[in-house]
Amino acid sequence: MPSKRIQRTEIISHRLKLHHLNVAMAVARQGSMGRAARQLAVSQPVVSKTIADLEHILGVQLFDRSPQGVEPTLYCRALLKRSISIFDEVRTSVEEILFLADPAAGDLRIGSTEPLLAGIVTAAMTRLWSKYPRIALRAVQADAATLVNRDLPERRIELAVVPMIGLPQRDDLDATILYRDSWHVVASSKSPWTRRKKIDLVELTNAFWCATPLETSIGSLLGDAFRARGLDPPRLTVSSVMSPPIVARSWSRTDLSR
């Protein structure tokens, strides 16, 4: 036999409607029954009755009333915290249905870091839009950790294109490796470095470096390479997130491992 608590939970779950939650969220956001009614385009008595019905179903007071408006109680905050996820799930389900009905149309939010967004992501979005012009594309720029740990789980974006360096694996997300990048030191064809068959990192400590900032996930690899040899990371003469990962002067490549 199920316990009385489980039975009560089942009864409440069957009586709750999305309308109840939607009105409660509006009242909490607006801090007023009247303002919530205007936002929802209904009368204030309708809002008041909906909140009263919801409080009766749950058996708790959801709002503290005062002449200045209403304030969510502890019970209301607990309800709304879950309600946001419920509406996100419903919205995602509707979007998936619309996509299945017409996969050539819809909205797609793509998050990426600045270097990738300026390159491969923009190129991919251009090709996708040229083939499916009824898809509305939106690009969101942020660091990899924010995109993977916040924006994807909270459904602020549908897809993230990021470097996987230093990011933990998450069971709630699917990851696909698009490509594996390689690192090179790049120098001018007139530089003495290009005439060397073997270069030791200690010789490059005081070189004029142009590289991705060392505090970024990509730039940290440069610092790690030096620290692995017991050396301090080089001082960057020029740092830019739009630069290649490791650049010393300009354009002839020498493998960093040599």
**Residue 119 to residue 106: CA distance in whole angstroms:** 24
Torsion on CA atoms 14, 17, 23, 28, rounded to nearest 10: 40
**Residue 139 to residue 127: CA distance in whole angstroms:** 14
Name the β-bridge partners of 108.
137
Domain with CATH 3.40.190.10 in the chain: 102-161
| pLDDT string in tens for the chain (258-residue length) | 456 767 777 777 778 888 898 999 999 999 999 999 999 999 999 999 999 999 999 999 999 988 888 999 999 998 888 787 777 777 777 777 777 777 776 788 999 988 888 888 999 999 988 888 888 888 999 988 899 888 888 788 889 999 887 777 777 788 888 888 777 778 888 888 888 888 888 888 888 888 888 887 778 888 888 999 899 998 888 887 654 433 333 333 444 433
**Residue 57 to residue 45: CA distance in whole angstroms:** 18
**Residue 238 to residue 235: CA distance in whole angstroms:** 9
**Residue 253 to residue 244: CA distance in whole angstroms:** 12
- Residue 161: the pLDDT is 92
Q: Which CATH number applies to 102-161?
A: 3.40.190.10
Axis-axis angle for helices 18-30, 33-40 (nearest 10): 120
CA 10 to mean position of chain CA atoms:
34
Classified by CATH at the fold level, domain 4-87 comes out as: Arc Repressor Mutant, subunit A (1.10.10)
**The pair of three-digit structure tokens given for residue 53, joined into one six-digit string:** 């019905």
Q: What is the DSSP letter of 169?
A: P
**Residue 124 to residue 119: CA distance in whole angstroms:** 9
Domain with CATH 1.10.10.10 in the chain: 4-87
- Residue 242: the pLDDT is 56
Q: What's the whole-model pTM score?
A: 0.51
For residue 161, the SS3 value is strand
Whether residue 155 contacts residue 142, with contact meaning beta carbons closer than 8 Å, is answered with no
Inter-CA distances, 104 with 93, 131, 132, 136, 232, Å? 17, 9, 6, 10, 52
> Which element (helix H / strand E) includes 26?
helix 18-30
**Residue 122 to residue 162: CA distance in whole angstroms:** 13
**Residue 75 to residue 63: CA distance in whole angstroms:** 9
- Residue 249: the pLDDT is 35
**Residue 217 to residue 81: CA distance in whole angstroms:** 33
